[in-house]
Chains A and B, each alone.
Chain A
C-alpha cells in the first residue's frame, strides 16, 4: 500500500501517460519516412492525431451477434499496453513494479482479448486474423524469451532497469550485436510490420492484425489504433534502451529506431505466411548464438 503513495508510483504513472500521448507522433515519424523513401510527400507527422480525432467522433456500428467481449476487447488491449508502459523504467526512477517477463506477459493480455473479439462478429475475416495472430505468436514468443534471456545473462538481472545499455560500463561485443539484430526482427514481427504483416493493406491474403479489427469502427477503432501505436512505441523504447548499443540520448535512439523500421519496410516485401516459421526460427538461432557467445 505504501508503494502507491511513493514518488516512484507517481513518476511511473506520469511516464505511462506521456507514452500514450506521444505514441502517435512516433508512428507518424515512421510513416513520413516511409513516404519520403518511396518518393511520396506523405501526410504530416501529426496525421495520426487527426485520424484518432476523426474516429473518436464517429458513430460505432456493431454487428447484431456481438456481445460485451466485443466492446471490452479494445479497452483490454489499451489497458495491457498502458500497464506495460507503467512498468518501463524511466529517467526519474529505477524502481518498477514488475520485471521483464511481467512486461512481456502483460502485452499477451491484449493479444488474448483481440483474438477473442475476432470470433464475436461471427464472420470469416475475424477468425482468420485471430488464427494467424496465434500462429505468428507461437513462434514469436519463444524467440522473444531467448532475446530476453540474452539480455538477462548479459546484465545478471531480470529487472528492466538493470538492463539499460550504458556505453561507459559496457562494451559492444558480438553477443550484443546479435541480440540487437534478433530483437529488431522481433520488434517488426510483434508489431505487425513488413515482412511478417503489412499494416497498410486490407487484403485477405496478407493481413493479420488488421483482420481482427475489421469489424470495429468509430471510437472503438480509435482505441485499438492508439493501443497499437503505444505497443509499437513500447517495443521501440525497450529496443533502444536495452539492445541498441549506441551511446545517444534515448529520444534520439527511439527516433532512429522509428526511421530504421521505415527503411526495413521499404526494402523488404511481405513474406508468405507459412514462411514466417523459418524466418523466426532463424532469428531464434541468431539469439541462441548470442546466448552462447555471452
Chain B
C-alpha cells in the first residue's frame, strides 16, 4: 500500500532523467525537445511536491531507507520534506514560466538549457534525500556544476562567463569547507551515514572547527555577507528562470544542510555559535537591503534582496541556537520555525520576482531599471504580479512575507526575555535595530523598483513599445502571486506544520523535553496575529469605500501637472538613482560611492556646457577583501614559481632533500 511512495518517487526521478536526455533529440526538433523537457520537470516536481506534502500533512511515508544503487541510500524525514516541498512548488511554477520564456533562447542551445534544467532539479532533490556524507557531497557537487553550466549559458558575453567562473571558484571553496566539516564529524563516528554522524562524539576543538567549516560552506552557498559576492554577479548572468530557481530553491538547500549540522552532527550547541550565526545573519540582512536599494540592474537588485532574506533566515536560526544554550530551551522552537516559514515563503516570492524581472527584461530588452518606466499600463498582468511580490518582499501584513519576519521579531523578543542579564538583552536590541533598518530599507527598495519600472512615464523608446508577455508566462507568475496571498491569510496551519517539523527535528539528542506548546492559534496561542480577521475587515472597508468614495462623482478632469507654467518633461521625472540619494548619503561611510563628472565642452566655463555624471557603487567586500586577497594569492604563487624551474635534476634534488628530512624526522 504505502510502497506507492517509492514507486512514485522513482517515476519522478525517471521523469527528470528523461528530461535530461532531450539533449539527444536532433536540433531540428529543438522545440519539441524543450517542451518535452519542461513537461517532464513539471511532472517530476509535482510528484515530489505530492510525496513531500503527503508526508507533512498525513504524516506517513514509505521513503525511509530506500537503496537506490549500491551504498546509495535515500530517505525522507520531516526536515527534508519541507525543503522537498519548496523545491516541488518552485519547480512547478518556474517550469511553467520557462516553457514560454526559454523560447527566447531558440537556436541558442535551447536543448542543453532545458536538459540541464531537469538535471539541476534532480540534483537538488537528491541532495535533500541523501542519507550519507558521500551521497550528499556527490549530489551537492552535481548541483554546483550544473548550476555553473546554467549560469554560463550565454557564455559569449564576457560578463556572463566572468560571473560564472567566479561562481564556480566560490562554490568549490564552499564544497571544500563542507567536506572538511563532514570529515571532522565523521572521524568521531562509526560510519558516514547520517544516522552514524548524528551519534558522533568529538572533542571540543574538533567540534568548533567542524562548526566553522560547516558554517563557512553553507553561508557561502546561502550568500551571507561577506561571502555573498558571487550572488549579485551570477543572477543577472543566468537566464531569468534559472535565477528564479537558484534564488528560490538552491539558497534554501544551504539552510537544509546547515540544519542537518546544527540539529545532529555537531552535538550540543555552543553559545558563541549561535551568536556568530545571529550577527552574521543580521549584517547580511542589513547590507543586502542597503545594496539592493542602491542597485540599478533589476536582477542584481533582487540578488541583493536574496542576501537580505537569507540573512533574516540565518538570524532566526541563530536565535534558535542561542535559545538552546539558555535555560528556556523550549522557545528555541520559535526561532527555527521562523527560519523554516521564511524559507518557504521567500522561495515563492523570490521565484515570482525573478520571473517578473525576466518578463520585463524580455519586453524592454534591458535589465537597467532607469531605462524602463510606465510599464504598468502596457503590461498590466505582470505589473499586478510584481505588486504582489513586492508587497510580500517588503513584509507588509496580510502577505506571506510578513509572517516570517514577524515570527523572527517574536524570537528576538524571547531572546531578550530569556535572560535576566543584559548580555542577551543587548544582543536582542541590536537585532531589533538591524531588523528595523532592514525592513524599512527593503520597503524602500521595492517601492523604488515598482515605481521606476511600472509607474510614471516611459523613459526610453523601447519601454514605450513594450508588450505584455505571453499567457504561459503570465500563468507562471500568477500562481506564486496567488500563493503569496493564500499563504499570508492561512498562515496559521503553515506555521503549525513548520513547528511540528522543528519539534521532530531538533531533539536528535533530546535537548528539549519534548513538550509541545501552542505557538500560534485561534485561542491560547503564545502569539497573536489573525490575518483572516484583518482581511475580513479590509474587505468590508473596501466595499464601503467603493460605495462611498469611488462610485460617485469622484472624477475628474485629466489635466497636465502644474509645473510653474511649463509643461513637465520626461527628464523631470524622478530616477531610481535620485530616489535612493538620501539613503545613499546617510550611509555614505559604508557605501563609498564613486562620483565622476566629465565636462564635454569647454568653450564656456559656466554656461551651456554639457557634462556626463557617472556614479558607481562598488561592492565594498570585493574591493577591500577579495581583490587584495586575490592580489596576495597571485603574488605568493608567482613567488613559489621560482622553485619550479622545470628542470628534472632540480626536482630529483627536491625529492632527495625531502627524503633526508623525513629520515631525520623519523630518527628523532
Task: Name A's B-contacting residues (CB within 8 A).
Answer: 2-4, 9, 13, 16, 59-65, 67, 69, 71, 75, 78-79, 82-83, 86-87, 96-99, 101-102, 105-106, 108-109, 111-112, 115-116, 118-124, 126-128, 130-132, 134-135, 137-146, 149, 152-153, 156, 158-159, 215, 218-220, 223, 273-274, 277, 284, 288, 291-292, 294
Contact partner of A67 among B377, B443, B575, CB < 8 A? B377
CA distance A286 to B200 in the complex (A): 48
Is the beta-carbon distance between B529 and A123 smaller than 8 angstroms?
no
Could you mark each residue 439-459 of chain B with 1 if its beta carbon is under 8 Å from any beta carbon of chain A, else 0? 111011011101110011100
A101 nearest CB across to chain B (Å): 5
Could you mark each residue 415-446 of chain B with 1 if its beta carbon is under 8 Å from any beta carbon of chain A, else 0? 01100001001101100111111011101101
Is the beta-carbon distance between A79 and B397 smaller than 8 angstroms?
no
Is the beta-carbon distance between B437 and A63 smaller than 8 angstroms?
no
Interface segment, one of B265-273, B581-589, B634-642? B581-589
Which of A98, A105, A143, A218: most chain B Cβ within 10 A? A105
What 7 A-B pairs have minimum CB-CB distances, sorted nearest first?
A127-B574, A142-B436, A119-B451, A134-B444, A135-B582, A141-B440, A122-B456
CA distance A140 to B439 in the complex (A): 11
Could you mark each residue 483-516 of chain B with 1 if its beta carbon is under 8 Å from any beta carbon of chain A, else 0? 0000000000000000000000000000000000
Known contacts A105-B396, A131-B580, A277-B586, A9 near B533 by CB under 8 Å: yes
Which of A69, A116, A152, A274: most chain B Cβ within 10 A? A116
Is the beta-carbon distance between B529 and A102 smaller than 8 angstroms?
yes
> Using Cβ atoms and an 8 Å threshold, which residues of chain B touch A13?
537
> Using Cβ atoms and an 8 Å threshold, which residues of chain B touch A75?
542, 545, 549-550
Known contacts A124-B574, A135-B586, A112 near B394 by CB under 8 Å: yes
Is the beta-carbon distance between B536 and A115 smaller than 8 angstroms?
no
Assess whether B72 is interfacial by the CB under 8 Å rule. no
> Using Cβ atoms and an 8 Å threshold, which residues of chain A touch B563?
123
CA distance A29 to B583 in the complex (A): 35
Assess whether B614 is interfacial by the CB under 8 Å rule. no
> Using Cβ atoms and an 8 Å threshold, which residues of chain B touch A144?
436
Which of A131, A153, A215: most chain B Cβ within 10 A? A131
10 further A-B contacts with Cβ under 8 Å, apart from A112-B447, A145-B432, are A63-B559, A78-B541, A86-B537, A87-B534, A105-B395, A130-B579, A142-B433, A158-B413, A274-B586, A288-B429
Interface segment, one of B41-49, B63-71, B402-410? B402-410
CA distance A108 to B373 in the complex (A): 24
Task: Name B's A-contacting residues (CB within 8 A).
Answer: 373-374, 376-377, 391, 394-397, 402, 406, 409-410, 413, 416-417, 422, 425-426, 428-429, 432-437, 439-441, 443-444, 446-448, 450-452, 455-457, 522, 527-530, 533-534, 536-538, 541-542, 545, 549-550, 553-561, 563, 568, 570, 572-575, 578-583, 585-586
Is the beta-carbon distance between B568 and A274 smaller than 8 angstroms?
no
CA distance A141 to B579 in the complex (A): 19
> Using Cβ atoms and an 8 Å threshold, which residues of chain B touch A139?
437, 440, 586
CA distance A14 to B517 in the complex (A): 34
Is the beta-carbon distance between A273 and B533 smaller than 8 angstroms?
no
Contact partner of B573 among A69, A98, A127, CB < 8 A? A127
Which of A153, A156, A159: most chain B Cβ within 10 A? A153
Task: Report 18 cross-chain contacts, Cβ distance below 8 Å, ordered by A residue.
Answer: A61-B556, A61-B557, A63-B560, A79-B541, A99-B527, A108-B397, A111-B443, A115-B447, A118-B451, A122-B568, A123-B572, A127-B575, A128-B574, A131-B582, A139-B440, A158-B527, A158-B528, A218-B554
Is the beta-carbon distance between A79 and B538 smaller than 8 angstroms?
yes
B653 nearest CB across to chain A (Å): 64
> Using Cβ atoms and an 8 Å threshold, which residues of chain A touch B440?
134, 137-142
Closest residue of chain B to A1, judged by CB?
B532
